[in-house]
Amino acid sequence: MRNTYNFAFLDEGSKREIRRAILKGVAIPGYQVPFASREMPIARGWGTGGLQVTLACIGPADVLKVIDQGADDSVNAVSIRGLVRQTTGVATTSDTRRATLIQSRHRIPETPLTRNQLMVLQVPTPEPLRTYEPRETVTCRLHAEAEYTGAYLELFEQIVRYGTTTTDADHPVMVGGRYVMAPSPIPRFDNPRLEDADNLFLFGAGREKKIYAVPPHTHVVSLAFDDFPFVREDFSGKRCHVCGATSVYMTETVDPATGERVWQCSDTDFCARHAAAARVAAEKGGDPQ
């Protein structure tokens, strides 16, 4: 690596400022801490918030994994991984178990994370009340007063119109009984992974200039009504056509060979490892589950 940049691209002053925002976010779970989002070599809206959090936290001994919609090899993930590797020289991996720092867009890995792993999520819209109230000054006040009628009203409106909540992703959560938070556009399937997790979650919104956090073992509850409880996406009766996994988050696709509709794991690392394990089991003569 030619040392043209400071370690991890950002200058030390910027990293300190971002770390201060992160520490404040960890101290007040779910609270959106404003920070001075830097110009990055990728465009805002393409993960600059997550990238800045990653760069401020990463050290030479870290092992980095970057995923986009569950895949390690999509364009966005590849370029962010390349940028961090070139400016830090850290090792990268696609194996969730080996990574110490995981930056992700739209998914939390299927493999449970441990206390030694740091999960960074890219956030497009950090404000869960934004559609209810467009003014930032007012939403700040609503958060200060813990006035979350708007978040519930949003869900109520969906139930009235469509008979069910229609949040595919970014279903709002109550963090630590105090702040309502946008969990970034992870599917509802991943929301329960925030509850009482072993690892620290950091959220970075570069365009909106906000950082927030869910520390380990925080109580995180998805918003719901008494008679309309929170439900995850239902994949019962479906299995991954590559690895055969069930009860994981899957995406619908078309098998190019047969033209049939099939389902496939969204988490490519999990899928690859599960397929490999199934092959080993099949060679030993066991049931390829």
Partner 1 sequence: MSDVNVSELPVPVRHTYVEEAPVLSVSHLSRRFGAGCPYCDDSSNLLERNICPRCGAVHAVRDVSFEVHPGEILGIVGESGSGKSTLMQCLYFDQTPTAGDLRVAAFDGGATNCFGLSRQQQRHIRDTIFGMVYQNPYLGLRMSFSALSNIAEKQIAAGSRNVGEMVARGEELLGRVRIPARREQDPPSEFSGGMQQRVQIAKALSNRPPVLFLDEVTTGLDLSVQARVLDLILQLRRDLGVSMVVVSHDLGVIRLLSDRTIVMLDGQVIEHGLTDQIMQDPQHVYTQELVYSLL
Catalytic residues, by residue number, are: 30, 240, 243, 265, 271
Q: Among residues 145 and 260, whose Cβ is nearest to partner 1?
A: 145
Lookup: tokens for 197? 């997790």
Which of 61, 160, 236, 257 is close enough to bind partner 1 by CB under 8 A? 160
Pick 114 or 131: Cβ nearer partner 1: 131
What spatial distance separates the first Cα and last Cα of the chain, rounded to whole Å?
Answer: 44
* Backbone dihedral region for residue 14 (phi beyond 0: left; psi -120 to 50: alpha; all else: beta): alpha
* Residue closer to partner 1 (CB basis): 150 or 215: 150
Using CB under 8 A as the binding criterion, the count of chain residues that bind partner 1 stands at: 17
List phi, psi (to 5°) of 165: -70, 140
Positions in 216-245 near partner 1 (CB under 8 A): 225-228
Determine if 159 is a binding residue for partner 1 (CB under 8 A).
yes
Q: Contact, 205 vs 125, CB < 8 A?
A: yes
Which candidate, 104, 87, 132, places its Cα nearest to that of 199? Answer: 104
Residue whose token pair is 């960074």: 120
Q: Is 147 in the site for partner 1 (CB under 8 A)?
A: yes
Shortest distance (Å) from residue 23 CB to partner 1: 28
Q: Can you tell me which of 6, 86, 149, 166 binds partner 1, judged by CB under 8 A? A: 149
At 182, the amino acid letter reads A
Tokens, residue 39? 């110009």
Residues lying near partner 1 in the complex (CB under 8 A): 132, 141, 145-147, 149, 152-153, 156-157, 159-161, 225-228
